[in-house]
Amino acid sequence: MIRTRYAPSPTGFMHIGNLRTALFEYLIAKKGRGVFVLRIEDTDSERFVEGATDAIFETMELTGLKFDEGPGIGGDYGPYVQSERKADYLPHAKNLVSSGKAYYCFCDKERLDGLADERGLKKYDRFCQQLSADEIEKRLASGAPYVIRQLIPDGKTTFHDEVFGDITIDNREMEDQILIKSDGMPTYNFANVIDDHAMKISHVVRGSEYLTSTPKYKLLYEALGWDVPVFVHLPLLQNAAGQKISKRNGDASIPQLLEEGFLPQAIVNYAALLGWSPPDNREIFTLAELESIFEPKNISKSPSAFDVNKLRWVNGEQIKTLPPEVFYEMALPYLKQSVKKAGADYAVLAKITQSRVTVVKDCAELVDFIDELPDYDIELYTHKKMKTNPEIAAQALKLVIAEFAGLADWNHDALFATVTKIAEANELKNGQVLWPIRTALSGKPTTPCGATEICELLGKDETLKRLEIGLAKVS
């Protein structure tokens, strides 16, 4: 049975790297018809951030990463909040002490600091491992503060990682790490092993920064007589400055990205591409599609970098796939801010902007010329490809005004037929007539729809008024 877990610490809001970890855990579980667990690792009270746990729940919900077991849902192996599991850790540590795989350490901070400073030792010197059983008993009975340390055996440790392969490390490089702190609480390094075993986690997925700690975890599983889970370490994720993505480096959190207008499904889609290569060149997926095509063997070792422009592109592609009525609802507040004129057809405005925005709110500036013609330079009438310039524009606009003024049917087909007629009769190309119209009506180099569609949007009076203004400019 495949069981994965996402184990965030509520020390800040989730960023794209955290979301990627959660997503890959989710996908590995779904792929194997397994169970996806959420575990809140809240034992570091000093770094606890108010509201962060709720934000994690919200982000999971919004992105569709539904967990099968976790806080608020339950399951057979809970509680799933570490602070509620406090009592579970010490007995395991004491068992390790009894079997000689761990020991009590009474060294105070001063001694430990001295160790590192004077003798240049970074590692604990095992002073307390030499204490006699009587001495230990005496100190414990006197209530002396203690920690419990893992006794790293001699030799080498090899573990297998699904992404990074076999990794061997000389045990001399490892310190006798603390398992239980002097306040009786477990360190993260101990708690993750106890919890992953207690929750029957089969695949442990996490960032590659944990690769160096994994030999210690493997030794702990072995010392406790437990099966070692499958390890899947995800490649390093860097920000634009080349640093590791982290809350501490000020990288955008998921709530911030949502605030900036990125859609949850785009963020998920983008996160999937960070260190995982889809089987073909396709890059746009729904979560359901990812569930069926995701293969952990396609996770790469090489670091990947968060690229906001790529995210924008993915967002734009995801917007294109939205049902028009959904985009309309999202775009409406922005369109209303931008176009206030009576009778504006917001459904049409939504339709013409949907495929042209990378974030929904950008639809506003695409249509802002409708209410008010911006001031523009007559050089805008010059377009090499269309073979037009202010002089040709003057000729075209004059003809267009004359013909349009008499038009009874004010719709795109009639308008376009008129433009074609004018072009043919005057040995002009369609573009040499359409470009000047578009420029005169919008004052912008790019518009979300063509010249005759803009005529329809503006209505006859406003169109003729703007064409006259344009003509006056180029005459």
Compute the least distance from the CB of residue 220 to ligand GLU, in Å: 13
Per-position DSSP letters for 47-75, written without gaps between them: G--TTHHHHHHHHHHHHT---SBBTTTB-
Active-site residue flag, 247 = yes
Residue with smaller CB distance to ligand GLU, 41 or 176: 41
The nearer residue to ligand GLU, 192 or 265, going by C-beta atoms, is: 192
CB closer to ligand GLU out of 8 and 235: 8
Contact residues for 8 (Cβ-Cβ < 8 A; gap 6+): 14, 18, 22, 38, 40, 41, 56
Contact region with ligand GLU (CB under 6 A), list: 2-10, 377-385, 421-429, 434-442: 2-10
User: Quick one: which of 3, 7, 174, 473 contacts ligand GLU (CB under 6 A)?
Assistant: 7
CB of 195 to ligand GLU, least distance (A): 9
DSSP code at position 226 = -
Q: Are 178 and 187 in contact (CB under 8 A)?
A: yes
Candidate residues 187, 192, 354, 463; the one interacting with ligand GLU per rule CB under 6 A: 192
| Residues in Cβ contact with 137 at an 8 Å cutoff, skipping those fewer than 6 apart | none
**238-251 burial, b for 16+ CB within 10 Å, e for fewer?**
bbeeeebbbbeeeb
Closest distance of CB 354 from ligand GLU, Å: 38
Q: How far is the CB of 213 from ligand GLU (least distance, A)?
A: 9
What three-state secondary structure class fits 79?
A: coil
Q: Which range, of 4-12, 48-56, 132-140, 285-293, touches ligand GLU by CB under 6 A?
A: 4-12
Name the residue nearer to ligand GLU (CB basis): 214 or 418: 214
278 class by beta-carbon count within 10 Å (0-12 exposed, 13-18 middle, 19+ buried)? middle
Alpha carbon distance 400, 394 (integer Å)? 10
41 binds ligand GLU (CB under 6 A): yes
Q: List all residues 6 or more positions away from 439 whose beta carbon is below 8 Å from its beta carbon.
A: 376, 380, 381, 393, 470
Does the protein bind ligand GLU through residue 17 (CB under 6 A)? no
Site for ligand GLU in 64-103 (CB under 6 A): none
Distances, alpha carbon 423 to alpha carbons 78, 388, 417, in Å: 76, 13, 10
Count of residues in contact with ligand GLU, rule CB under 6 A: 6
Angle between helices 460-474 and 390-405 (to 10 degrees): 150
Question: Which of 187/354 has CB closer to ligand GLU?
Answer: 187
Q: Residue 9 interacts with ligand GLU (CB under 6 A)? A: yes
Contact segment (CB under 6 A) with ligand GLU among 5-13, 127-135, 143-151, 365-373 equals: 5-13
Give the pairing of strands 237-238 and 165-170: unpaired
Identified binder of ligand GLU from the candidate list 15, 20, 203, 206, rule CB under 6 A: 206
Which residue, 12 or 448, has its beta carbon nearer to ligand GLU? 12
By the rule CB under 6 A, 12 interacts with ligand GLU: no
Instruction: Give me the residues paired with residue 204 across strands.
Output: 231
Q: Taking contact as CB under 6 A, which single stretch among the options 3-11, 109-117, 230-238, 460-468 is the one that binds ligand GLU?
A: 3-11
Identify which of 321, 318, 272 has the alpha carbon closest to the alpha carbon of residue 298.
Answer: 272
Instruction: Kindly state the smallest distance separating residue 379's Cβ from ligand GLU, in Å.
Output: 55
Nearest distance, CB of residue 39 and ligand GLU, angstroms: 8
Catalytic residue among 101, 247, 387, 473: 247
Q: Are 254 and 19 in contact (CB under 8 A)?
A: yes
**Given the complex with ligand GLU, which of 85 and 206 has the nearer CB atom?**
206
Distance of closest approach, residue 438 Cβ to ligand GLU, in angstroms: 53
Count CA atoms closer than 13 A to 411's CA, side-chain side.
Answer: 2
Q: Which residues of this chain interact with ligand GLU, rule CB under 6 A?
A: 7-9, 41, 192, 206
Residues classed as catalytic: 247
